[in-house]
Each structure stands twice: as structure tokens, then as C-alpha cells.
Chain A
Amino acid sequence: MSSTTTNPNNLSTVAAARMANPFWHRIRRNPLTLFGLFLLLLIVLMSVFAPWISPYDPTKIDIAGRFAPPSAEHWFGTDEVGRDIFTRILYGARLSLGVGVAVVVCAGLIGTVIGAISGYFGGKPDQVIMRLMDIVLAFPALVLAMAIAATLGPNLQNAMIAIAIIKIPVYVRLARAEALALREKLYVKAAVTFGIKPWRIIARHIVPNAISPVIIQVTLDIGDAILLVATLGFLGLGAQPPTPEWGAMISIGWKHLLDYWWYPTFPGLALFLASCGFNLVGDGIRDILDPRENRA
């Protein structure tokens, strides 16, 4: 066995100099990520303070004032039954954000656990699970989500289940890859020699150390999940009226694009910005975390 470097001291000159820059400093240097963060902040604020920002009730119907163009009273105009679109976008933010986060976090947790177990034990069960994941991944995401949502019945809960199902395989793969590498680590082997049971080893050592790539993936996936919920909503498979959901709004609104442009435009814009925000932040986090992983 060969001996490794002679600089185990964590204060060796070169390493000390390469001490990682503080997290915020790195973010500040990347304007896109900053912009993404700003967008996210906007959306979060919108959804949290919705009742205070707008005086309107998102479901209150006012047939007389329907299809009103943007004005001082209705910043984004009104829809086909006179509901204030701006208000509906605010409440829609709550829904999209809530759904996106809930779905992805669930998928992430379930996927990570399955992947960690599968990777750690290996062997036949691992092969079976991976082939199962391959099957799910073989389908185009949207098509499969549609199929599941349609089978279960068109409502928001089922849409969430459908999206969670199609998201899980990615996490299983991620966690499994990490688990395969981690089980060779000396601290894991040490734990085996102590006599610690496998499930404990997975919980204490594998999952916590596999979390990094999962977190990055989660941020990216939230943006994707928001889009998917909206798409399913657009197709009538997600949130049902009168729930204010961006996709459902666009679904009705797009027919009126030429006459009442504001109707589909603003929800569409909201959707775009939300998903953009998550993607930019996810990219930014990945860039920041990656070089650190190559620390010598």
C-alpha cells in the first residue's frame, strides 16, 4: 500500500490559501443567479401576502365587469366571469409554489431512500429496482403524468401524485449513484466492523452524505413541477375551477388571446418567471457547490 501525501494538516499552505470563499460572495458574482433569487423572492412574497396585497376575492364573480382590460382598479384585468386576474395570479402563486415544493420534496425523500437502500445493498433487488425506474423513465414525462392523472381522476391531488411518480426515478438514480460510492468509504466500512446494522448505516452515513446532489436536483425540479402542474391544469387534468391555478387560467384564456390579450398573458408570464427563477437558482447552486466538491 502506498502512502499518500504528506500534507494531512488542514493548514498546509496551499490548502489554507484556497479556503473557500464565503457562500454569498460567490452568489454575488453570478448575476443570473441573483436575478433568479429575486424572482423567487417575488413569488414567495406574492403567495404569502396575497390576502394583504389584493383586496379582491379570487373566486368572487362579477358578470357585469367581465373581460375588463387592465386598469387602475384591476391591474391585470378580469376574466370571463369578472374575477380579478391579478388576485387570481397571487393565489395561484400559492398553489403553484405549494404544489411544486410538496411534490418535489416528497419525490425527493422517497426517491432518496429507495436509491440509498438499493445502492447500498446492490445485488438482485438493486437490479430489479433500477429496471423499474428505467421503465418509468422510458416514457415521456408529460405523457405518463397525463395517463396517471387521467386514470386516477382529474383533480389536483391526483395531479400531484402523478407528477411525484414521474419525478421519483431521478432521485432514485442520484441517491443510488452516491450510495455506490459511499459504501466504499472507510467510515462506512468502519461502521460495518463496529457491528452497526445496515439500516442504521444507511440512515446515518449514506443518506446525509448523498443529500448534496439531491438538493440541487430538488431546486431544479420545483420549477419543472410547477410547469407540469400548470400543463396538467391546462389540459383539465389538474386543478379544477374555480380554483385559481395558472395553467387552468391559461387553458380558458388562450381562446381569447386576440380579443382579451391580458387573460392568458399574465398567468403565462407568471408561470414563465416562476419556472425561470427556480431554474436559475438551481443552476447557480450547482455551480457553487460543484467546484467545492473538487477540493483537494
Chain B
Amino acid sequence: MNMLLEIKNLSVSFSSMQEKILALRNVSFSIQKGEIVGIVGESGSGKSVTALSILGLLEKNATIESGSIFYKGTDLITLERKALQSLRGKEIGMVFQEPMTALHPTMRIGAQLAEVIRRHRRVSWREARRLAVESLAEVHIRDPELVARKYPFELSGGMRQRVVIALAMSSPPELLIADEPTTALDVTIQHEILKLMQELAIRRGTAVMLITHDLGVVSQVCRRVVVMYAGEVVETGTTDEVLRHPRHPYTRALIGALPDLAEPGQPLMAIPGDPPDLRRRPPGCAFAPRCSRALPVCFEDHPLLELAAGESFTHYVSCWGGKPDETTA
């Protein structure tokens, strides 16, 4: 069985004093062993909530309304805290956007790494420290012995993120969840960190769930991509097919909004309307109010995630497939 993670119809809501907000609605996708999947979306898309749900790190006011998260056949939602906790870190690693929050500020790098290594393997302190230095070298840190003796604040952002990756990959995990791991870094470093993650994933056979808002990042390292909007999956498939032949109007608009591909002087493709208000979900498709090709049915009924027309067996889209519009600009 090649399936590592399978999320089925996951719906999550947040409750505050005034109301209940549905953050995730019927989210379904899967990740195979060793594959790098990108989860793409903007604010309110629910991509981070998805990651937190898998890790069991949702806030207290969050409720999993329905659905399941199958990891190697076991539904993580039904797992008790202790079991989930041991799964986290050992089999599921995490890398978040801000490396400083993942590192102990007053503990040396080498010691932090060694501690984590010892938690997963029965080795002596000395051996653990040696392995720690090794893992620093693996993430392409020069002078790993020197860095091992430093404190987090003495390192640059890029180096800290490498350390966090080393920490996350120390078990090594079967699944690495990375939520915007390079967003806070300089562009030149971003590129290196992504390449590093890709390399480690391939070498260790670790699957990666890469959450990002950046389609460029996705096109660089992800084999498959899941596009989310307003807490729903609107399109998924291989990176190639989704980016080359996007079927969902939102995906198309997202690509069209990128300055990367635009001609200077030509206006960018702008999505009319406002970002989704999760408190007021329309009964039909969440994107319908802003869609230039919306049909009446789009406002009433929610489209299902189905195989897109064509030859692909991997390209799914959630759209009633509106009429072609001449003025799609």
C-alpha cells in the first residue's frame, strides 16, 4: 500500500462567543509515500488549519465536525493524545514559518538536536552529539561542529531554518509537514532551503506536505498540488497538469494574477470581489460570487470534487464547469 496519508471529507469549525466558523469543508486529498505535495491557497484557504488538524494541534475552540485523517490506515482523529504525541515528531515532522519559535532560545544547537535524537533512538549522549553534528552537515551547514556550539540567536534566518529541518528530519519521519517554511527568508536562501528539503525527502523517502501561497515554489519542488479556497479543495492533480491546464476558475485567476508571467504594462488578472468571508458561506460554490463564469447552479449547489474531463486520472476539480467566456482577461 503506497498511501501514507489520506484525508477524507474533513470539516473543521472554530467557535467563538458569537458564532461558529467553518474553516474546512469536506477537504479530501491524499499523499503517497515519498511524494512531495504542495497545498496552495491564500488567506482563509484553510491550508494551515489542515496541517494543524493532522498534527492534532488545533486550538481549544476548534471542533472536527466530520471526516477522517487516515495515516497508514489509522484514523488520527480517533487516536488518543499520547499516541498522537508519539506519532508526532517520530513519524510526522513539522517545519513552520518562523524558525525562532521552534528552537529553544537558551539551549545550544547541538544540544537541542542531540536531545531530539535521543528521544527517537537508544544512543548515548556522546553518540547523539556526534549524530547531531552529522545531521547539521547533512543540511549543508558549513562548520557543523562550530554551529553545534552556538545558540539560535547567533544564526541567520536561513541557518536556523536548516537546523529546524534537521530537527524535523532526525527521526527520520515518514511525513514532513512544512507550513510556509521559506516565506520569512531571503529569496536566495529560499531557493536553497527548498532544494535541501527536496533532496532530503528523496534520500530518506520522506513524503512532504508543503504548504505555501507561492505557486513558484510549488512548480519548483512539488510533484502534485492541491489548490484550496475558502476551506475547500477546488482542484488537485500533478503540478504539471494543474499549472499548465488549470480547470478551476480560481486556479486560473491565481495564475493570471502572478506578475511572473505578465508582460510589463499589461494589467494583471484581478479577481473581482472580496476574499471569502467564512462566516457567511454561500450555499453553493464558495468561489461563485467572484467567478466570471458562474452559472445559476453554482450559487445553489455545491460542486463535487470529480475527475476533470480529459485523459488524466489524477486531475480532479470541483466546479460545475461554466460556459467558456470570451472576455476572460
* Direct contact between the two chains A and B in their complex (CB within 8 A): yes
Q: Is A258 an interface residue (CB 8 A)?
A: no
Residues of the A chain whose Cβ atoms lie less than 8 Å from the Cβ of B97: 5
**Contact A14 B48, beta carbon cutoff 8 Å:** yes
**A140 close to B (CB within 8 Å):** no
Using Cβ atoms and an 8 Å threshold, which residues of chain B touch A16? 14, 16, 21, 278-279
* Number of A-B residue pairs with CB-CB distance less than 8 Å in the complex they form: 66
Nearest A residue (CB) for B17: A21
Q: Known A2-B157, A6-B183, A6-B213; judge A11-B277 contact (CB<8 A).
A: yes
Contact-residue bracket for chain B: 20 to 34
Residues on the A chain within 8 Å of B49, using CB:
13-14
Q: Verify A17–B14 contact, CB threshold 8 A.
A: yes
Given known A2-B184, A2-B185, A21-B17, contact A13–B59 (CB-CB < 8 A): no
**B window 57-76: CB within 8 A of A:** 59, 61-62
User: B250 to nearest A CB, angstroms?
Assistant: 16
CA distance A50 to B210 in the complex (A): 70
* Distance, CA A5 to CA B212, complexed state (A): 11
Contacts of A200 in B (CB 8 A): none
> Cα distance A3–B186 when bound, in Å?
9
The size class of the interface chain A forms with chain B is: 10 to 19
Q: 1/0 per residue B26-58: CB within 8 Å of A?
A: 000000000000000011101011000000000
**Chain B CB within 10 Å, residue with most, of A11, A21, A22, A25:** A11
Asked if B275 is at the interface (CB within 8 A of a chain A CB), the reply is yes
Contact B42 A3 (CB under 8 A): no
B278 adjacent to A13 (CB under 8 Å): yes
A:11-62 near B, CB below 8 Å: 11-14, 16-19, 21-22, 25
Contact partner, B183, options A3, A8, A12, A14, Cβ 8 Å:
A3
Chain B residue nearest to A9 (CB atoms) is: B43
Given contacts A2-B157, A17-B21, contact A11 B44 (CB under 8 A): yes
Closest-by-CB residue of B relative to A13 is: B23
Residue in A6, A12, A13, A18 whose beta carbon sits within 8 Å of that of B180 in the complex: A6
Q: How far is the CB of B232 from the nearest CB of chain A, in Å?
A: 13
B43 touches A6 (CB 8 A): yes
- The interface bits of chain A over 182-203 (1 if a CB of B lies within 8 angstroms of the residue's CB, else 0) are 0000000000000000000000
Given contacts A2-B185, A14-B49, contact A8 B16 (CB under 8 A): no
**Interface residue? A7 (CB, 8 A):** yes
Q: Which of A2, A4, A22 contacts B17, CB < 8 Å?
A: A22
Cα of A44 to Cα of B17 in the assembled complex, Å: 32
Q: Which of A4, A6, A14 contacts B42 (CB 8 A)?
A: A6
Q: Which residues of the partner chain B approach A7 to less than 8 Å between Cβ atoms?
A: 43-44
* Cβ contact within 8 Å between A3 and B184: yes
Knowing A6-B213, A11-B278, A12-B43, the reply to whether A17 touches B186 (Cβ < 8 A) is no
Given A5-B180, A11-B277, A14-B59: 12 more A-B contacts, CB < 8 Å? A5-B97, A9-B43, A12-B44, A13-B44, A14-B14, A16-B16, A17-B23, A17-B61, A18-B61, A19-B17, A21-B16, A21-B17
What are the nearest 3 A-B pairs in CB distance? A17-B14, A9-B43, A13-B23
* A interface residues, Cβ below 8 angstroms from B: 2-9, 11-14, 16-19, 21-22, 25
